[in-house]
Structure 1
Amino acid sequence: MERRGFLRAAVVGAAAAAFGGASWHGALAAGAQPGPSPYGDLLPADANGVMLPRGFTSRVIGRAGQKVAGTSYVWPGAPDAGACFRDGSGWIYVANSELPKSQGLLGGVSAIKFRADGSIADAYSVLHGTDTNCAGGATPWNTWLSCEEVPRGQVYETDPWGRKNAVVRPAMGTFMHEACAVDPERKVVYMTEDQFDGGFYRFIPTSWPNLSEGRVEVLCAPDDLTSGPVTWKPVPDPFGDPVETRYQVPGMKKFVGGEGCFYANGTCWFTTALDSRVWTYDARNSTLGLVYNGAEQAQQPPVLYGVDNITRAGSGDLYVAEDGGNMEMCIITPKGVVAPFCRLIGQHANSEVTGPTFSPDGTRLYFSSQKGLTGELTDGMTFEVKGPFRR
């Protein structure tokens, strides 16, 4: 969003020490630093305007205002975060639409169904009429949590197959939701908040995995903490009326522009766009750390700037999209190397990279240029990249 560029310029990052989860412990003592990509340098852009390493190819699977190939479904504008779900021998890709009601537009969630060979079998809507659906998260029980990024935003639980109606989950809190990540070991859902002084929350369902009831807690620690133990405290009124959730708990740690969120193997990775940081929450030890701190990079502008949505490959590599910057998606390896994986060129300069997610077999990566070639919210292009991903 346009406000982020201004706010980032006003933020000065503090010094950082970093560690990650599972395979990351001890590997990032100085934070991820620029280095050679495990895939090599980017080649000149292909016909779709995508720069990729050798051995990788791209195709456009959705363009706003146009029918998805082989279907009658028109792909929506402002495609954002997404996820993939196994469907027999094929899979389903779902993506949010960050269209705002304030501009007379309606957001929601769309789906594309793929056959085993990667051909498109169908496309359809699984949620429509909501407001500014930005990020979200997949659940282990095969639903997609779609989040509204507005001050009174809600979380909607949707069915990627489109057979069941989407259900709003007000118990998960009313605030400027960004992303969700499910921790099945502790039976909680982590949530980010896209505010300059936002919180990092977790929702604890009363009866797992039913998300209709439960309590919301917020991470508490000194605001200058970048590495160390943290605690959680309950949010008295998750509905935020009249006091917004981030102002209810003394000692809540403030994060500047919470964005993407992804859980695996005891660790939740999440990003903050306004200071270009990638954080880790070690759920087993209840500690916080930094994987990447853009403000502390010797190279300015840094390789990875304006961090946004995040995902993780089976290899442990993190893929982080840029909101702005030079329209790249970067990889952060478990050895602490950050490098470009792909870049969109040309008229994409007024867009942002959104929604990286892998197909269930790890051979295809999906992401979008949210505003496409025109820079308008009603535009947007969604890509599939295929190649020898590390798994």
Structure 2
Amino acid sequence: MERRRFLSRTAVLAAGTALAAGPFQGVAAHLRPDGPRRPGRGYGPLRPVRDLRDGQVRLHLPEGFRYRSFNPAGSRLGDGTITPGRHDGMAAFRGPRGSVILVRNHEVNGPVGAFGDPAAAYDPMAGGGTCTLRVTPYGEVLDSRVSLNGTQMNCSGGPMPWGSWITCEETVNGPDVGNDFSGGDNSRLRRRHGYLFEVPAAGRGRPAPIRAAGRFAHEAAAYDARTGAVYLTEDNFGFPSGFYRYLPPKNPMAAGRLLDGGRLQMLAVRGRPNADLSQGQPEGAVYETTWVDIDDPDPAFTGTPSNNDAIQAVGMQGRAKGAALFSRLEGAIADRGVVYFVSTQGGAPVTQPVPSGFGDGRGQVWAYDTRSGRLRLVVESPGDVALDLPDNITHSPRGTLVLCEDGGGDNYLRGLTVAGELFDFARLEPVPEDDGAEFAGSTFAPGGGTLFVNVQTDAGLSFAIWGPWRDGPF
């Protein structure tokens, strides 16, 4: 079930604007649906591989790669807590004696009650949060525990170089807001949601939201060491999304953590108020950008507005000042001064049906240069045969991007090399009882010897994948 893989290479830049040389500089803005220009060799064809945990086939991988699944939903953590489902965003940190510390999100919605100790929860009625595991590079669990509970819809986030994971709530649920699509009763929640929380790799997260970083449908966070800013994506499913940056009152590397009380801003295209970048883009599109301030990043709602109104409250402030429109911004990662982020349903309309919501394409990958302030389109998908609704992303030690797909049918882990090659690395074996299963939370262990990734579903689990990395672009 291999799919065609191709990218054209071109140096054409919109309006004659040139970016500094760097990763993905030669990658065109469009994949071609009619035939390969430059096939991505990657690591070769995929084949079914048995899970070393129990012998079942869960992944299709290239020759020579092996994997072990671990910590499925319903199993017990080392502290006795039942592992929740909906495994999502994740980061890997160096652990003692060659081990790896994983901090992992659980995107649980609704007032279902906190997992773990309710006395330690931010909101004892909310069922999301994070688990921290210490594992070997081969997916053998050495220790595991709850590290943050009582949050909600913990979707993605980002690893921070001072040794923390920023976890993001993809919701604005709370007792002051009407019910969302899940049908849960928000009046049962005790606290407001829609914030960032920090979880140290070596300890428990503080149940204190970073309110100045906004209350909106947060997805991912990426840190820029030069400026100390944290770049944020918004996955506002039914409405336009924005690309944000949070400027903390003190550089987190000096403070040792991300402080509240900073300034939130939203990206705009210079000279083009409310530029709609969710639509199909010209090849090599590059935009000069600026930033607009969000005056009230943590709005206090009265009268219990609808969830649809509340979830747009922060973004509408930015768009009133000319901020750009995107479709469903999800994964983000920073690499050498560039923040790469994904627009899951961005791009020109395609023939294949797309999920309901804002955006009719099959996905875009954008690159924001934090030094020049230029925004560049790296890839726009022409259809699901080439790239199907990219979601979480990370990068390998060599700079190759890893894209987790969130489409219908087969779901892949795909690689996008700095030379402009797109290739399939892994395919998820269909889960008969859950056709919505998808890859999420890809992250390389320090040193790059193991790729960890999750399957997000009610019966979620995590994988450790290892093999002959030097034979290919990761």
Same fold (TM over 0.5): yes
Which of 369, 373, 388 in structure 2 is aligned with 1:305?
A: 388
Q: What SS is found at the alignment partner of 2:315?
A: helix
Give the superposition deviation at 1:160.
2.2
| Alpha-carbon RMSD | 2.4
What CA deviation, in whole Å up to 9, does each residue of 1:129-174 have, x standing for no partner?
A: 1111101111111111111100350111112223563432111111
- Runs of 5+ unmatched residues, structure 1: 1-15, 372-376
Maintained 8 Å contact 1:308/1:322:
yes
Aligned residue runs from structure 1 range 51-90, under 5 A? 51-67=60-76, 72-88=80-96, 89-90=98-99
CA separation of 1:191/1:71 partners in 2, compared to 1, >3 Å: closer, same or farther? same
Alpha-carbon offset, residue 285 of structure 1: 0.9
Task: State the SS of the aligned residue for 1:75.
Answer: coil
Please give the residue correspondences for 1:138-177 in structure 2 after superposition, counting only pairs within 5 Å: 138-151=159-172, 152-163=193-204, 165-177=206-218
Question: Contact 2:339–2:369 (CA<8 Å) still a contact in 1?
Answer: yes
1:229 matched to 2:309? The reply is no
| Separation (CA, whole Å) in 2 of partners of 1:78 and 1:117 | 22
Q: What aligned pairs does 1:1-391 form with structure 2 within 5 A after superposition?
A: 23-24=22-23, 26-31=25-30, 35-46=39-50, 47-67=56-76, 72-88=80-96, 89-102=98-111, 106-115=127-136, 119-151=140-172, 152-163=193-204, 165-195=206-236, 196-209=239-252, 210-221=258-269, 222=272, 223-224=275-276, 226-241=285-300, 244-249=313-318, 250-275=321-346, 276-294=363-381, 297=382, 300-325=383-408, 326-347=410-431, 349-371=435-457, 377=458, 379-389=459-469, 390=473
- Find the aligned partners of 2:19 and 2:231 in 1 and give their Cα distance: 16
Corresponding letter in the other structure for 1:281: Y
Between the aligned partners of 2:112 and 2:19, the Cα distance in structure 1 is: 40
Q: Counterparts of 1:266 and 1:44 in 2: how far apart (Å)? A: 38
Contact 1:256 1:274 in 2 (8 A): yes
Q: C-alpha distance in 2, partners of 1:314/1:239?
A: 37
Deviation at 1:368, TM superposition (A): 1.3
Closer, same or farther: CA 192–21 of 1 in aligned 2, 3 Å = farther
SS of residue paired to 1:49: strand
CA contact (8 A) 2:276 2:325 kept: no
Change (3 A) 1:255 1:362: same
Please give the alpha-carbon distance, in whole angstroms, between the structure 1 residues aligned to 2:24 and 2:454.
Answer: 31
Of Structure 1 and Structure 2, the greater strand share is in 1
Measured in 2, the distance between the counterparts of 1:318 and 1:169 equals: 29
Residues 54 and 72 of structure 1: CA distance in aligned 2, closer, same or farther (over 3 Å): farther
Distance 1:176 1:213 in 2: 19
- Distance change (3 Å), C-alpha of 1:184 and 1:202: same
The 1:118–1:71 alpha-carbon spacing in structure 2 relative to 1, beyond 3 Å, is: farther
Superposition TM-score, scaled by structure 1 size: 0.87
Equivalent residue of 1:171, what SS?
helix
TM-score scaled by length of structure 2: 0.72
Where 2:167 maps in the other structure, the secondary structure is strand
Q: What whole-Å deviation, never above 9, does each CA across 1:274-293 have from its counterpart, x for those lacking one?
A: 22111111111101111111
Note closer, same or farther for the CA distance 1:365–1:123 as it changes in structure 2 (3 Å cut). Answer: same
Amino acid in the other structure paired with 1:245: V
Please tell me whether the aligned partners of residues 223 and 231 of structure 2 are also in contact (alpha carbons under 8 angstroms).
Answer: yes
Give the gaps of 5 or more residues in structure 2. Answer: 1-11, 51-55, 114-125, 173-192, 253-257, 278-284, 302-311, 347-362
| Residues 258-287 of structure 1: per-residue CA shift (max 9 Å, x gap) | 101100101000011122111111111101
The Cα offsets for residues 240-270 of structure 1, whole Å up to 9 and x where unpaired, read as: 3457111113210011101011001010000
